[in-house]
Every structure is written in structure tokens, then in C-alpha cells.
Amino acid sequence: MPLNIRTYHELTEPDRSGLGEQIATQRRRLAARLAAVGRVIVVMSGKGGVGKSFVTAHLARALARAGRAVGVLDADLNGPTVAGLLEAGTARLVVGEDAVLPATGSDGVRLVSMAQLLADGQPLAFKGPPAESFVWRGAAEAGAVRELLADVAWGPLDVLLLDLPPGMQRFLELCDILPAPPAVLTVTIPTPESHDAVRRALHAAQERGSPLLGVVENMVGGPFAGTAGADLAGEFGIPVLARIPWHPTPDTWHLLATRL
Amino acid sequence: MKFLCVECDRQMTFEERQLPGDGTLAAAFRCPKCGRAVALLTNPMETQLVSSLGVKIGGATVPAEPLQTIRSMVATGRDAAFADGGERATGNLPSWSAEAQDRLSRVPGFVRGMVKKIYADYAKERGIGEITPAVMDAARAELGLEEM
């Protein structure tokens, strides 16, 4: 005869392991930290190598030059490059009483990146049992991104740009971590291959309820032929915010900044 | 995570947490009605999964330090990543014995500042004037600082 075991939800007393409350505390801490941030924008693409970090860095600088308070979180933990592009790749982070102060990069952009935390040339490696590390590594990376959002004294910001790695994993993690789905700025190159990958990413963002701000088509006028930017904009009903040539000028970025 | 004493149909309460130092974890829960205790034993992979979430079974006894999960879990951190090394003086800080200082010096620079602050806060809250290896051991066990 089977035992009569009540289910988890039928036990109405608090979770005695304390895990639920700790997760809730983490969420409150993050929400409080981002309360002074006007807008969180993820710069993403389903495709690698399209210039997300390049666009993020130059857009951040253009926004800062236009008088906005801008922060950048390099959410590409395994291939952090945006800090180097903002000339703060090896800046030391100052630890305050309850938060770490972000570094200051080009044009006053505040930023935090794993590049500032990792030893030179070393990959991101975690302590822990090496066998079957795939089981916990994703959780560790998501936890690291959460801490970089919640434990950094970003201060009042008009915009916080999050530079994402290729693919959808980090975006989906952020949808779970952030109080609301972040606004999405999509970067593509003109090719059909990029169109296919970015299209999937946009569908995922749409399904999660993220506002789609528009498409930035990068590396236009070079060897990459195609109409990915216009095609994506047409399919999703969003604007092409910029078509970035191989040799963009400050005006290129200024124009993009004014359209956000 | 909840534990139910099936015989009593009562939710068990968290009793204590032990970290043997081999990556495993033991958490004891007790039935408030019949007093029976059960222990949850996790293997290193399961322990790591919980740690990766930045949480502790049984609850956190002290507030988390900034970037605590990153600083305690990243194995390839840069020694000079943090500017102050955790030397955030708050007044009446306990002293460190030579043995404790030697032990602290063997902690990787990436995490040393945070570890030092945690031990100092632990000693200060308990009115301990000097941090010794025994105090460090007690703090590790009490605060669940397996990874430090």
C-alpha cells in the first residue's frame, strides 16, 4: 500500500531549507540595484562574429558623448572583449561595503567585465568536481551574471547595455534573472546565414515578451552580400536602426544613438 | 526543498549543516512532533550545483559579500583584480596571529580580500580580539565556507 505523502505545494509551512528565501533575496537585491537604471538593453544575435561587442562599445560611447549616463555589462563571460574596446580591460575593481564599483572606460562609460577579473590569457574556469561539470557550469555562469548585475554599484544610469555572447542561452537566463524581459537590440550581418540565425533569436525574444528595438546591420558594403537587415525588419515589424559600414565614422554611431 | 515526516505528516525543520571538507554536504532535518532526524547527504556534484546558485542549504548565516559566488568559485581569477584587497576598515578590527596571517597568505589573491573580511566580521561579531587558525576553522564550519 503506497504511503500517503503530501506534495511540496500542500506543505504550506515555509521552505525550511532556506533556498527559496535566498533566491527571493537575490531577486530583491538585483531589483533594488537596477531601480536607478532607466533602461536595460541587451545587444544580442543568434550568430557569432557579427560584431555585437563592437556595436555595444561604440553605441555606449556615442550615448555617453550625447550626455547619457551609460553602463556596460559584458555578459560574454567566456569571450569578454567589450572592456578592451572601451579601454578598461585590466582595470581593477574597487570593493565597497556592499557592492563593487564599476570601472570607467572611454567617454566615461561605466563597465564591468570578466576580462577584468580573469588572469591574463586564462579561460573562465570554476572550482569544483571536474566530472560532469556540465551539470552545474550553466548555473554557475548564470549566477555570475546575476552577481555582476546585482553586486555592482551602477548608480543612476540612463541606459545599461548588456553585451551577450552568441546564441540564446544568456538571453534566456537574463529573462529569468531580471525583473522584466530586457529590451533587445539585434545585430546581424547582411548574409542569409546570419538572417537565419538571428531570425530564430528574434522569435525567442518575441516569445519571451522582450521589446524589440530594432536591427543593426553590421559590416555593410564589404564581402558579405545579402539583405538580412531589411528582411528581419520587415518580418518582425521593427526598424533598421543603422547600417554600419566597414569603416564607420563617429557620425554613424551618433545616428544610431539618436534612434534609441 | 522540504522534508516531510510521513508517519507524523509534519514538515521537518532544518537542524544543522556539516561540511566534511571533501566536497560533500550533510544537512540534518528533524520532525518537530516525534523528534526523528534525517540527514540529506549530497555528493560533490550536487553540492556544487547548490553552491552555483549562490545559496546555502539551511540558509545563509551572514549576508553575502559583493561578487561572493564569483570570487569563491572562479579558479582562474586575476590576483590583482580587486583594488582594495578587502581592507575596508570598520573600526575595532581584530588582530591576526602570525599563524593565521600565514594561512591567509596562502589564499589566492583573487579571493583573499573577501576571505579576510569574512573572518574579521565573524570575529568582531563574537567579540574575538585575535584571529587564530582555530578561529578560522570555527568560522569555516559555522558559516559554511567550504569553498574558502
pLDDT digits (tens, 9 = 90+) for A228-260: 999 999 999 999 999 999 999 999 999 999 998
* pLDDT tens column, A32-69: 999 999 999 999 998 999 999 999 999 999 999 999 99
Confidence (pLDDT) at B86: 45
* pLDDT tens column, B83-103: 864 445 455 678 999 999 999
Mutate to test the interface with A, among B70, B71, B78, B116 (most CBs of A within 10 A): B70
| Residues A21 and A15 sit within 8 Å (Cβ to Cβ) | yes
Amino acid B120 reads: A
Mean pLDDT to the nearest integer, A193-209: 96
C-alpha cell at B71: 570570487
Question: In whole angstroms, how large is the CA radius of gyration of chain B?
Answer: 18
Confidence (pLDDT) at A194: 96
Hey, are the CB atoms on B9 and A26 less than 8 Å from each other? no
Q: Which of A145, A122, A91 is nearest to B83 (CA)?
A: A91
| φ, ψ of residue A63 in degrees (nearest 5) | -65, -40
Q: Round to whole Å and give the CA distance between A183 and A181.
A: 7
Q: What's the number of CA atoms in the CB half-sphere (13 Å) around residue A125? A: 12
Task: Give the nearest chain B residue to A139 (CA atoms).
Answer: B52
A37-259: what fold? Rossmann fold (3.40.50)
SS3 A60: helix
Confidence (pLDDT) at B85: 46
Confidence (pLDDT) at B17: 85
Q: What is the CATH number of domain B60-148?
A: 1.10.8.550
* Residue A68 C-alpha, separation from nearest chain B C-alpha, in angstroms: 27
- E runs forming strands in chain A: 37-44, 70-74, 94-95, 100-101, 103-104, 110-113, 157-163, 183-188, 212-220, 240-245
Confidence (pLDDT) at B61: 66
Statement: the pTM of the whole predicted model exceeds 0.80: yes
* pLDDT tens column, A83-119: 999 999 888 999 988 899 999 999 999 999 999 999 9
pLDDT surpassing 50 at residue A127: yes
Check whether domain B1-59 has CATH 1.10.3470, yes or no: no
Q: Which of A3, A22, A119 sits opposite B76 (nearest CB)?
A: A119
- E runs forming strands in B6-129: 10-11, 13-18, 25-30, 37-42, 95-96
Query: Residue B55 to residues A21, A221, B18, B50, B68: CA-CA distances in angstroms?
Result: 9, 50, 15, 6, 11
Hey, are the CB atoms on A117 and B68 less than 8 Å from each other? no
Question: In whole angstroms, how large is the CA radius of gyration of chain A?
Answer: 20
Instruction: Give start-end residues of each CATH 1.10.8.550 domain in chain B.
Output: 60-148
Hey, are the CB atoms on B80 and A22 less than 8 Å from each other? no
Domain locations along chain A? 37-259
| Residues A48 and A93 sit within 8 Å (Cβ to Cβ) | no
**pLDDT tens track of chain B, all 148 residues?**
889 999 999 999 988 888 888 888 899 999 999 999 999 998 888 888 888 888 877 777 667 789 998 998 999 999 889 886 444 545 567 899 999 999 998 888 888 888 888 898 889 888 899 999 999 988 887 776 665 5
ipTM of predicted complex: 0.88
Hey, are the CB atoms on A95 and B113 less than 8 Å from each other? yes
| φ, ψ of residue A131 in degrees (nearest 5) | -70, 130
Looking at beta carbons, which residues of chain A come within 8 Å of B56?
18, 22
β-pair partners for B42? B25
Hey, are the CB atoms on A5 and B68 less than 8 Å from each other? no
CA quadruple A146, A94, B95, B93: dihedral sign = negative
Q: Which of A179, A169, A153 is nearest to A71 (CA)?
A: A153
**Number of helices followed by number of strands (H, E) in chain B:** 5, 7
